[in-house]
């Protein structure tokens, strides 16, 4: 991940050094050489992902690609805040490091996780889950697409739902490689601490519309943006509704910035067809291609 940025971009390396200072880990070494268990620790992975996304974002904007709207999925909302000028790149790195640290600490006290579900029987699964389980054991964490969602909560509860889905042949499900039950009430403790920590950070009005995870709406008020960033820890990501809001603007091109191609797939799953070009910007070659074709 980001080997080309480490070689070619001193600004990016400064961001990673800043993240390393915040986490107390050598994030460049972990990113390039592992071990994987250290990379996958939430406290290390979150600031690294934000650094990498910001690195490619800076190269893309330097090529003249300027967004009309921005949004980010879960942690990606921090990068989106920086892209919209609400916070600085440095504040984004600090936010990701503290968010990851607090989530790690809270998750260590729990036996929780997340599970992705692909099914056309969403309502039947969610109704069974609500009827079969006491309130609070499991919640809808990510509403990603019409046929794709993520549940978050107790590991035992995830196993029960997985058994129900497989027994009833309602679709596919798989446990996600995360350390805790993100976007659930189990993260309230981390959320409260994050809110206190975030108070001195300056938030500005966004330079362009920004669609938010918690509300699937645009917002200009910096203090509302701050509160939404805090609520993002324990409330669901309404990505399907965010995609619906984005479709209303009729974009001709979407740019997914950062490692992977998950959001590009979710864009297609949410009805963005061939009339909308989708570019993956997850290396410097991808920056060149997106800038050449996307302008």
CATH code for the domain in which residue 289 is found: 3.40.366.10
If asked whether residues 264 and 289 sit together in one domain, one would say: yes
Angle at 71 between CA 261 and CA 41, to 5 degrees: 60
Q: How confident is the model at residue 134 (pLDDT cuts 50, 70, 90)?
A: confident
Segment 248-276 shows an average pLDDT of: 95
To 10 degrees, the CA torsion angle through 194, 196, 201, 204? 90
pLDDT score for 136: 83
Instruction: State whether 34 and 100 are in the same domain.
Output: yes
Q: Which residue has the tokens 């993520």?
A: 150
170 and 214 part of one domain: no
In a domain, 55, yes or no: yes
180 occurs within a structural domain: no
Residues 222, 79 within the same domain: yes
Q: Clarify whether residues 163 and 18 are in a common domain.
A: no
Q: Does residue 253 share a domain with residue 171? A: no
157: domain CATH number? 3.30.70.250
Q: 3-state secondary structure string, the chain?
A: CCHHHHHHCHHHHHHHHHHHHHHCCCHHHHHHHCCHHHHCCHHHHHHHHHHHHHHHHHHHHHCCCCCCCECCCCCHHHHHHHHCCCCCHHHHHHHHHHHHHHHHHHHCCCCEEEEEEECCCHHHHHHHHHHHCCCCCEEEEEEEECCEEEEEEEHHHHHHHHHHHHHCCCCEEEECCCCCCCCCHHHHHHHHHHHHHHCCCCCCCCCCCEECCCCCCECCCHHHHHHHHHHCCCCCECHHHHHHHHHHCCCCEEEEECCCCHHHHHHHHCCCCCCCEEEEECCHHHHHHHHHHHC
284 and 217 together in one domain: yes
162 and 246 share one domain: no
Q: Does some domain include residue 98?
A: yes
- The vertex-205 CA angle with 201 and 211, nearest 5°, equals 100
End-of-domain residue from the set 121, 149, 175: 175
- When pLDDT is averaged across residues 3-15 and rounded to a whole number, the result is 95
Same domain, 248 and 266: yes
Please tell me the total count of domains within the chain. 2
Instruction: Identify whether 286 is part of a domain.
Output: yes
Domain annotation covers residue 127? yes
| pLDDT tens, position by position, 208-254 | 999 999 999 999 999 999 999 999 999 999 999 999 999 999 999 99
The arithmetic mean of pLDDT across residues 180-184, rounded, is 97
Indicate the pTM of the whole model.
0.95
Are 89 and 228 members of one domain?
yes
- Domain boundary (144, 175, 206) is at 175
Name the domain boundary from 151, 175, 199. 175
- Mean pLDDT across 185-204: 97
| pLDDT for res 293 | 84
**pLDDT > 70? residue 4:** yes
Q: Does some domain include residue 148?
A: yes
pLDDT band at 133 (very low <50, low <70, confident <90, very high): confident
Residue 126, pLDDT above cutoff 90:
yes
Cα separations (Å) of 235 from 169, 199, 214, 252, 257?
29, 20, 7, 30, 23
Which pLDDT value is given to residue 135? 81
pLDDT of 295 strictly over 80:
no
- Judgement on whether residues 129 and 101 belong to the same structural domain of the protein: no
Same domain, yes or no: 99 and 30: yes
pLDDT of residue 149: 98
Domain limits for position 145: 112-175
Rounded mean pLDDT, 152-173: 97
């Amino acid at each position: 991940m980001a080997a080309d940025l480490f070689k070619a971009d001193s600004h990016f390396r400064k961001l990673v050094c800043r993240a390393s200072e915040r986490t107390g880990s050598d994030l460049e070494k972990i990113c390039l050489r592992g071990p994987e268990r250290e990379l996958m620790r939430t406290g290390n992975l979150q600031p690294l992902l934000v650094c990498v996304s910001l690195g490619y974002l800076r190269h893309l904007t330097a090529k003249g690609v300027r967004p009309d709207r921005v949004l980010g999925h879960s942690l990606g909302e921090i990068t989106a805040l920086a892209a919209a000028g609400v916070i600085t790149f440095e504040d984004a790195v600090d936010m990701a490091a503290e968010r990851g640290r607090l989530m790690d600490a809270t998750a260590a006290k729990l036996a929780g996780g997340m599970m992705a579900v692909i099914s056309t029987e969403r309502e039947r699964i969610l109704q069974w889950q609500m009827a079969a389980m006491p309130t609070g054991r499991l919640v809808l964490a990510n509403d990603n697409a019409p046929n794709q969602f993520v549940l978050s909560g107790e590991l035992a509860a995830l196993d029960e739902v997985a058994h129900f889905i497989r027994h009833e042949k309602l679709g596919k499900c798989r446990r996600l490689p995360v350390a805790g039950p993100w976007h659930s009430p189990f993260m309230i403790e981390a959320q409260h601490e994050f809110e206190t920590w975030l108070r001195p950070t300056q938030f500005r009005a966004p330079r362009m519309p920004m669609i938010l995870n918690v509300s699937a709406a645009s917002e200009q008020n910096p203090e509302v943006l701050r509160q939404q960033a805090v609520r993002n820890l324990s409330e669901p990501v309404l990505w399907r509704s965010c995609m619906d809001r984005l479709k209303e603007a009729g974009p001709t091109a979407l740019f997914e910035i950062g490692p992977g191609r998950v959001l590009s797939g979710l864009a297609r799953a949410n009805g963005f067809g061939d009339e909308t070009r989708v570019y993956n910007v997850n290396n410097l070659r991808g920056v060149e291609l997106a800038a050449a074709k996307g302008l």
